Structure 1
Amino acid sequence: MGDKAHAHPGAAGRAATADHPASVRNVVLVGHSGSGKTTLVEALALTAGAVGRAGRVEDGTTLSDHDAIEHRQQRSVQLSLVPVEWGGYKINLLDTPGHADFVGELRAGLRAADAALFVVSAAESPQTMAGATRMVWEECAAVGMPRAIVVTHLEAARADFAEMTRTCARVFGGEDPDAVLPLYLPLHGPQGADGHAPVTGLVGLLSQRLYDYARGERAESAPGAERLPAIEEARNRLIEGIIAESEDETLMDRYLSGAELDFTTLVEDLERAVARGVFHPVLAAAPAPPGARQGLGTVELLELVTGGFPSPLERAAPAVRTPGGTARTVGACDPDGPLVAEVVKTASDPYVGRISLVRVFSGTLRPDATVHVSGHGLEDHAHADRALHESDERIGALSAPFGKRQRTLTRCVAGDLACVAKLRRAETGDTLSAQDDPLLMAAWDMPDPLLPLAVRAHGKADEDKLSQGLARLVAEDPTMRLEQNQDTRQLVLWCLGEAHADVALERLRSRYGVRVDVVAHQVSLRETFAGRSAGRGRHVKQSGGHGQFAICAIEVEPLPGGSGIEFVDKVVGGAVPRQFVPSVEKGVRAQAARGVAAGYPLTDVRVTLLDGKAHAVDSSDAAFQTAGALALREAAAAATIHLLEPVAEVRVLVGDDYVGAVMSDLSGRRGRVVGTEQAPGGRTLVRAEVPEIEIGRYAVDLRSLSHGTARFGRGYARHEPMPAQVGARLREQARSTP
């Protein structure tokens, strides 16, 4: 691991390749915004020799040359892949955004990776770590993904490595804090004029050696006698932590009896514990200063990745089935097995077109081969708004990204990742398999987008491109959902938060040339009768030739919620001929759909046809439709009409510290808390019923209220009467809107 001999780095300017899954390591970097993930990736690439000392690739760009959207956002908004070589291994570094709005990119990284590096800043507060970062840690723990922790920003004035290590043990260790321990201690240089002593190297606890980076490249030496007591205390705790997670039950007995455990045995046991996901080492890292060849702690980190993190061969085979639903068994990461690959990310390049980042789980992907593309559809709840799709497509060029360039690959073996150009029909989450043996991987869990963004084309030219642009956005990002609301006639793009929505609008404009206007989101209101009422519709006209004659009398009464429109025929004596009764019903239903008071659809009423008159010559289907509509409008004019608003069932999973604030906030939104129950991890599930009009921005407000620690879901419950004062305010707003 970090105390091994110095490995040989890869060469700059050459695409990292893999011939076998055993030589691949797929690692996702996870952490809060500003924790230093992207800077760490650049430092690792420099140490591995993938970039020059100026941090630039051969085209003069750097790994951190983001697109225009990321520059404007001043943060990462998409998953990026940086492949490097170290000691004969190909390491795929997957850098993820830290902002909660881009959790879809994070989930893509977790799907593609076999291990995770949690990057935490030494200047972070415990509250920041205990938020979304802890939830991702728990997700990794649930599937047994190996994890390590990297502490950055050690140069900060208030940085305290020891305190941050204790915080990590408390937040991530849970009931077993001794499973989160440092492998190294920071080595501080001379104290500066400001009283701050910079970190210039590391002390290896297992090897008891110093690794000094003060001159820009690691230099190894023996520690002085004055350092040994501090090293010994931390070393003993680390050894005990390793032994506690060891599969060798004799180690503890040997250690307690005073036997000296050799260095090789400890390192091998440490690596096995890390690979099994039961021990989580803490390391420190810092970028290289200008002109330096290696960043502090980067050699140790690369050796941890290659020695302690598992290869794709150690990952369980994916659950797959045929598109028809028959379960299939696929061997674990066999390059010669049936092709099973997954599109984990889709992006658009203005010059190349669509680029799909693909993780190969079985078989080997080659350029120019024809593959079958299978996409999830309506049978999958998580993809309920997406069409089930099947198609055959020809693989274009395979490449590995590096900065803004793509380096050509001749193949991509099982366990590796590659970019595939011009898969026109493939969407994020789709499965690629052999043309003659189509397969479909199980869908991955994605959060529901719960922030509505109602949009309309800015001009005539934008109308023609809007639907295609939105369809591309949704195909690229499964955390976006497009809705054409039939009730409000609004086009709604559902997002995860405001930053997510801003990026969607910017991509529409810059990538697809579509300008849109954001309008106020409307909920699907309804109207109903408060009590019984009667109406008479008279449609009599004579204008030469055949005239129009139809008269009908109806009674309207309210029904329980969810009943819809019920039409009853009680005409006797043929006052309305049999052939025209359906015409009256058609006219009533058409008027109900248009509304009778504020323009919202009428529902939950029974309309009874009681009487009417017809003319032998002038009565017609159209005349009785008009009479039915007039009768309903007259009945409404004589009655009290209630506005009905949709009510959502809301489920909020929140830490116990914020339960009171969440319940108070829900009450302020006219919500009714219907129950609470304890959930694992010191959290509570709060169930409530809240009018949908009150939770349009709840995705944003809840994140602020709970410091990013809460999640919520929602589902339609029913429509119920809206308070009179709220209804009056909505009618006033409707009248004042041009």
Structure 2
Amino acid sequence: MNTDLNLYRNIGIFAHVDAGKTTTTERILKLTGRIHKLGEVHEGESTTDFMEQEAERGITIQSAAVSCFWKGYRFNVIDTPGHVDFTVEVYRSLKVLDGGIGVFCGSGGVEPQSETNWRYANESKVSRLIFVNKLDRIGADFLRVTAQVEKVLGAKPLIMTLPIGREDTFSGVVDLLTRKAYIWDASGQPENYEITDIPADMVDDVEKYRSELVETALEMDDDLLMAYMEGEEASIEDIMRCIRKGTLELAFFPTYCGSAFKNKGMQLLLDAVVDYLPTPTEVNPQPLTDEEGNANGDYAIVSEDEPFRALAFKIMDDRFGALTFCRIYSGKLNKGDTVLNSFTGKTERVGRMVEMQANERNELSFATAGDIIAIVGMKNVQTGHTICDPKHPCTLEAMVFPEPVISISVTPKDKGSTEKMGVAIGKMVAEDPTFRVETDIDSGETILRGMGELHLDIKVDILRRTYGVDLLVGQPQVAYRETITKDVEDSYTHKKQSGGSGQYGKIDYVIRPGEPNTGFTFKSSVTGGNVPKEYFPAIEKGFNSMMGIGPLAGFPVLDVVVELKDGGYHAVDSSAIAFEIAAKGAFRQTMPKAGPQMLEPLMKVDVYAPEDHVGDVIGDLNRRRGMILGQEISATGVRVKADVPLAEMFGYISTLRTMTSGRGQFSMEFAHYAPCPANVAETIIAKEKEKKAAKN
């Protein structure tokens, strides 16, 4: 049987914290008959937020995949978190979606995190609809939010509906295309609405916005536009075809309004998903890559007749065992098939496949291109791995995850929990690629690394509650780095003669600062045979192996170029190992002379504060060594953007709340590494020396 992929829509819902993503997802599930009782986020019982931590904090941490049907179309909906520490979830969801709905709060407008998510969606070239939610709230203003979308996001909203009434008198929406009003009664039931003529006081507005809508849409088709300019009315079918084309090409974003919580305006949004968002076959197919991750010009064409290829985009551990969420790009997967993980080169048999309805699951016997499913009990598949037909090995473009910038040390409160903690952390690392764990060799402590305070907070909370491991948590530590500031030309000879075969290797080299974000670069300008070519890899390995421990305080070193100029070797005593040891000695000898410098992570901080508190907020950011990049005044307050060292941002949320009487909000994400001021560097170096002395 061949599935009709034109009836599929793989969509994600993303937005800033509290704009109402999860409520919107709930409403979609209710309207499509998936759930009968509506769960409310603010009562802590929505369907897709089923982790205790989510219900409690009212935020979505894990993106949950849910399938449902609307007018014969199948929607695979992925609810993504809005919180900045979990952007990896948004990013990996966008990777496997075909279209999205950006939800904005009618009073809050375009908030910091919605900007980040919008940027990710632009990079992934995902077509989107815009839904301006919470229009029943005080201060909500649909047209102000659409203007903000244009100004802040640089995106073109195509206004499709206008709200009837404002704030607490908001009662429905006008569909501009059909010139019909949809008015809901006060019962709050989504199906209790009637379709009427436009309210008399809105007729002029409707005509104004409708002609803007039609003109923008018809720009997608020159012939229709010419006819329209000459006074010919375009048919609704033609306009809709043009809107679809423009949406798929990201020329504009059809924009709807309503209140998810009050169940007003949702049906039109669902119809728009069908009418304007792409089917799996209309999206640019995923590029395939070689082992190194370089595109090889081949694509995973979305079709059942192609070989099986799927991307594992999320791993979740729940009461039924490990679930591997996969987006199938091509081919067909049957229960009992054997698949190849092209990353590990191992094959696995697919025992059970399920389709997720949030926390419920339906067993499947097969799945095909375009489906988003979960496979139960895969052993060695991790996020970003490709699984494929063993006869046609391939790699889908993998995901790139940001490096963690903050760490904490944890020790179990009682001896018995050590093993339990190891198992639990192993599962959590598989689920979240931005969460890393290592053991401090000197102290034996377990170090957790993550994207921010909240990220690690929640990890500790999950360990405590889900896995029952009580931890003592150390102070948060910043991931400092070191680099060098000047070129040094130097020479180093390693020789050891003590009976038997000796060791000899001499290298002349230059160590110089590299471009930002280049890590370690090795090149050779040796002419003649003073250092035989076969020893170059050993020399490179020797230098590279030392990059983990810098000369100042032992932090990893960034952005260094080593150029091998010349050297000498001995016909008998030279060996790869001798040259590797020479390179290590050379690194130790020369790095302290190359103007070493401490680097610290700077965070892109976005603070939102009421107007009367902005002075305090800016003063406080300056005290935290922040660099103010700009401020924007909106109707509800001021947004301040700044680059601030991570080390100065611990516990910022409580300071901000105190300063702004609880009304301030902020988000931050890693920006780049920058040199530490001398006094800060001295303190860090002294601290590291103390630590070492204490251990010895």
TM-score by length of 2: 0.71
Note the 1:6-85 alignment, pairs <5 A.
19-52=3-36, 63-64=47-48, 66-85=50-69
Partner of 1:634 in structure 2? none
For residues 199 and 479 of structure 2, the distance between their equivalents in structure 1, rounded to whole angstroms, comes to 74
Q: CA deviation at 1:197?
A: 4.5
Please point out which of 317, 340, 346 is paired with 1:391: 346
Change in CA separation of 1:479 and 1:181 when aligned onto 2, cut-off 3 Å:
same
For residues 261 and 681 of structure 2, the distance between their equivalents in structure 1, rounded to whole angstroms, comes to 63
For residues 33 and 686 of structure 1, the distance between their equivalents in structure 2, rounded to whole angstroms, comes to 20
For residues 665 and 578 of structure 1, the distance between their equivalents in structure 2, rounded to whole angstroms, comes to 67
Q: CA deviation at 1:702?
A: 13
Note the 1:493-572 alignment, pairs <5 A.
493-520=448-475
- Show structure 1 runs of 5+ residues with no match: 1-16, 190-195, 290-294, 376-388, 527-559, 583-592, 594-599, 604-643, 677-682
Letter in 2 for 1:648: L
1:315 is the counterpart of 2:283: yes
1:228 is the counterpart of 2:179: no
Please point out which of 118, 121, 133 is paired with 2:114: 133
Partner of 2:269 in structure 1? 301
Please point out which of 620, 644, 647 is paired with 2:598: 647
Task: Specify the SS of the correspondent of 1:329.
Answer: strand
Please point out which of 313, 319, 344 is paired with 2:313: 344
Task: Specify the SS of the correspondent of 1:445.
Answer: coil
1:166 is the counterpart of 2:165: no
For residues 709 and 54 of structure 1, the distance between their equivalents in structure 2, rounded to whole angstroms, comes to 30
Partner of 1:420 in structure 2? 375
Task: Specify the SS of the correspondent of 1:447.
Answer: coil
Pick which of 17-26 and 463-472 moved more: 17-26
Contact map agreement 2:429 2:435 (CA 8 A) in 1: yes
Change in CA separation of 1:42 and 1:562 when aligned onto 2, cut-off 3 Å:
farther
Q: Deviations over 1:706-732 (max 9, x none)?
A: 975764355698999987777677778
Note the 1:264-663 alignment, pairs <5 A.
264-287=237-260, 295-321=263-289, 323=291, 327=296, 329-350=298-319, 352-375=320-343, 389-486=344-441, 489-520=444-475, 647-648=598-599, 650=601
Count of aligned pairs between the two proteins: 578
Q: Deviations over 1:313-345 (max 9, x none)?
A: 012222223548793724421112111111111
Pick which of 418-427 and 252-261 moved more: 252-261
Contact map agreement 1:645 1:719 (CA 8 A) in 2: no
Q: Deviations over 1:430-466 (max 9, x none)?
A: 1111123322222223222212122223322122233
For residues 554 and 248 of structure 2, the distance between their equivalents in structure 1, rounded to whole angstroms, comes to 59
Contact map agreement 2:15 2:114 (CA 8 A) in 1: yes
Q: Deviations over 1:373-401 (max 9, x none)?
A: 233xxxxxxxxxxxxx3321111221122
Q: CA deviation at 1:206?
A: 1.4
For residues 480 and 252 of structure 2, the distance between their equivalents in structure 1, rounded to whole angstroms, comes to 54
Change in CA separation of 1:524 and 1:397 when aligned onto 2, cut-off 3 Å:
closer
Contact map agreement 2:439 2:445 (CA 8 A) in 1: yes
Change in CA separation of 1:328 and 1:487 when aligned onto 2, cut-off 3 Å:
farther
For residues 261 and 668 of structure 2, the distance between their equivalents in structure 1, rounded to whole angstroms, comes to 37
Letter in 1 for 2:94: L
For residues 512 and 280 of structure 1, the distance between their equivalents in structure 2, rounded to whole angstroms, comes to 43
Which has the higher Rg, Structure 1 or Structure 2? 1
Q: CA deviation at 1:355?
A: 0.8
For residues 490 and 480 of structure 2, the distance between their equivalents in structure 1, rounded to whole angstroms, comes to 14
For residues 288 and 27 of structure 2, the distance between their equivalents in structure 1, rounded to whole angstroms, comes to 38
Contact map agreement 2:2 2:304 (CA 8 A) in 1: no
> Identity, % of aligned pairs?
24
Pick which of 365-374 and 507-516 moved more: 507-516
Contact map agreement 1:431 1:440 (CA 8 A) in 2: yes
Q: CA deviation at 1:414?
A: 0.7
For residues 199 and 87 of structure 2, the distance between their equivalents in structure 1, rounded to whole angstroms, comes to 46
Q: Deviations over 1:49-98 (max 9, x none)?
A: 22226569xxxx86256222212333211101121111221011111111
Contact map agreement 2:408 2:477 (CA 8 A) in 1: no
Change in CA separation of 1:328 and 1:410 when aligned onto 2, cut-off 3 Å:
farther
Task: Specify the SS of the correspondent of 1:237.
Answer: helix
Contact map agreement 2:9 2:75 (CA 8 A) in 1: yes
Q: Deviations over 1:398-431 (max 9, x none)?
A: 1122242111222221111011111121111111
Task: Specify the SS of the correspondent of 1:319.
Answer: strand
Partner of 1:184 in structure 2? 161
1:712 is the counterpart of 2:670: yes
Letter in 1 for 2:245: R
Contact map agreement 1:173 1:180 (CA 8 A) in 2: no
Q: Deviations over 1:154-186 (max 9, x none)?
A: 111222222222222322335xxxx31321111
Task: Specify the SS of the correspondent of 2:317.
Answer: strand
1:241 is the counterpart of 2:209: no
Task: Specify the SS of the correspondent of 1:71.
Answer: helix
Contact map agreement 1:702 1:710 (CA 8 A) in 2: no
For residues 667 and 62 of structure 1, the distance between their equivalents in structure 2, rounded to whole angstroms, comes to 41
Change in CA separation of 1:411 and 1:116 when aligned onto 2, cut-off 3 Å:
same
Partner of 1:608 in structure 2? none
For residues 168 and 177 of structure 2, the distance between their equivalents in structure 1, rounded to whole angstroms, comes to 25
Letter in 2 for 1:647: M
Contact map agreement 2:15 2:117 (CA 8 A) in 1: no
- Show structure 2 runs of 5+ residues with no match: 504-545, 547-552, 557-594, 610-614, 630-638
Partner of 2:184 in structure 1? 213
Contact map agreement 2:288 2:300 (CA 8 A) in 1: no
Q: CA deviation at 1:306?
A: 0.8
Q: Deviations over 1:25-58 (max 9, x none)?
A: 01111111111111111111222222226569xx
Letter in 2 for 1:80: A
Task: Specify the SS of the correspondent of 2:34.
Answer: coil
Contact map agreement 1:451 1:697 (CA 8 A) in 2: no
**Greater RCO, 1 or 2 (C-alpha within 8 Å, sep 6+):** 1
Contact map agreement 1:18 1:24 (CA 8 A) in 2: no
Partner of 2:538 in structure 1? none
Partner of 1:10 in structure 2? none
For residues 712 and 724 of structure 1, the distance between their equivalents in structure 2, rounded to whole angstroms, comes to 23
Change in CA separation of 1:568 and 1:397 when aligned onto 2, cut-off 3 Å:
closer
Partner of 1:145 in structure 2? 126
Q: Deviations over 1:610-629 (max 9, x none)?
A: xxxxxxxxxxxxxxxxxxxx
Contact map agreement 2:280 2:370 (CA 8 A) in 1: yes
For residues 278 and 454 of structure 1, the distance between their equivalents in structure 2, rounded to whole angstroms, comes to 48
Letter in 2 for 1:374: S
Contact map agreement 2:25 2:79 (CA 8 A) in 1: yes
Task: Specify the SS of the correspondent of 2:162.
Answer: strand
Change in CA separation of 1:64 and 1:138 when aligned onto 2, cut-off 3 Å:
closer
Change in CA separation of 1:703 and 1:419 when aligned onto 2, cut-off 3 Å:
farther
For residues 494 and 153 of structure 1, the distance between their equivalents in structure 2, rounded to whole angstroms, comes to 36
Partner of 2:87 in structure 1? 103
Q: Deviations over 1:520-548 (max 9, x none)?
A: 3568999xxxxxxxxxxxxxxxxxxxxxx
Contact map agreement 1:334 1:414 (CA 8 A) in 2: yes
Change in CA separation of 1:155 and 1:397 when aligned onto 2, cut-off 3 Å:
same
